Amino acid sequence: GSILQQYPSLFAALQSIYPEHTWDINVIRTCSPKYHWDNLENQRKFMDDFRAKHNISQPCDWSKITSTDLTKAGGSFVFRMYPSLFAALEAIYPEHQWDINSTRSQVYQNYWNDIDNVKQFVGQLREIHGIQQDEDWSRVSYRQLQQAGGHSLLNKYTSLYQVLQAAYPDKKWDKKKFQSRNKRSAQRWMFLQVQKLYPGCEVVEEYLHEELSRLSGRAIELDVFVPRENIAFEYQGQHHYQDSPALGSGSIELHQERDEEKALLCKSSGIKLITVPYWWDNTLESLQKLLIQE
């Protein structure tokens, strides 16, 4: 009989007859053999090749891959066999811990209809933002929620307050606290990063310094203070650099005058004061650079 009667497909025949070659089914065939993609090993080989060609070395790199990228490379089977790329990755690479919020920029349709997915996201957010008690949630901003991967979640639930209500309906959430404009969310994030900079040290947010207050004649509060190291961190929002009537936080002159007074008081008391401007990129690395520069 003919060669093709001895093999399930042309591709299988080529692999067997010319084993010295590395055969790529996506190049050789526009249509893969029937049942080819039912085999998990074939799926994995395709994904391994795709990863190599697209320089994907860690799970978060998949967030830049679109369905078009996969389909053009011959991976349309992914969307025939799985509800989403994320589901495919979970099945093909079960040895990895996959996090949909970092792996995919968009979750699959109806993902947030499953309340367990909402709870999982809230749990991750709790860890990222060091939430110790329910009141801490009101210090997390809308933007921080988006940055954590909650864009599509906010299409279903328009605020963190609604997200928490859905995830934990038995708890009493104070809506007014979540609506406050004085969240100081960036300051709290800075506090969490300073804790990482000084593990094992006491780190205090909004520290009322008695000695500086006595010298000034008014209450002097340090945004974040590390008593053992005698180092203070001050987060300076936009209103410290330009007039912003919308913020309703007083004139730029008043803020700059107080900033200067605080800097002089700290210097005279031997406190190293690190000023963190509002354009800080929120990373630990850049905070370390500011510390070295001072």
Domain stop point among 129, 149, 179: 179
pLDDT value for 274: 96
Q: How many domains does the chain have?
A: 3
Q: Are residues 202 and 270 in the same domain?
A: yes
Query: Residue 253 pairs with which residues in a beta bridge?
Result: none
pTM, to two decimals: 0.64
Does residue 231 sit in the same domain as residue 150?
no
Q: Which of 68, 103, 138 is the last residue of a domain?
A: 103
**Domain final residue pick, 103, 132, 147:** 103
Regarding whether 200 and 283 lie in a shared domain, the answer is yes
Residue 221 has a pLDDT of 93
CB atoms within 10 A of CB 146: 13
pLDDT at residue 107, as a whole number? 67
Amino acid 191: pLDDT: 96
Structural domain for 262, as ranges? 185-293
d(CA 224, CA 227): 10
Strand, helix or coil for residue 272: strand
Q: What CATH number is associated with residue 243? A: 3.40.960
Residues 205 and 260 in one domain: yes
Task: List, run by run, the mean pLDDT of 10-residue segments along the chain (294 residues).
Answer: 60 73 56 74 91 87 80 83 79 83 65 89 88 94 83 89 96 90 88 94 95 89 96 90 65 86 93 94 89 85
Q: Report the C-alpha gap between 130 and 194 in whole angstroms.
A: 12
Residue type, 110: N
Non-local (6+) Cβ contacts of 43 within 8 A are 37, 77, 81, 88, 91, 92
The Cα-based distances of 41 to 13, 136, 211 in angstroms read: 18, 46, 69
Closest-CA residue to 249 (of 265, 264, 231, 236): 236
- The CA distance from 116 to 100, in Å, is 13
Query: What pLDDT score was predicted for residue 29?
Result: 46
Q: What's the confidence (pLDDT) of residue 28?
A: 47
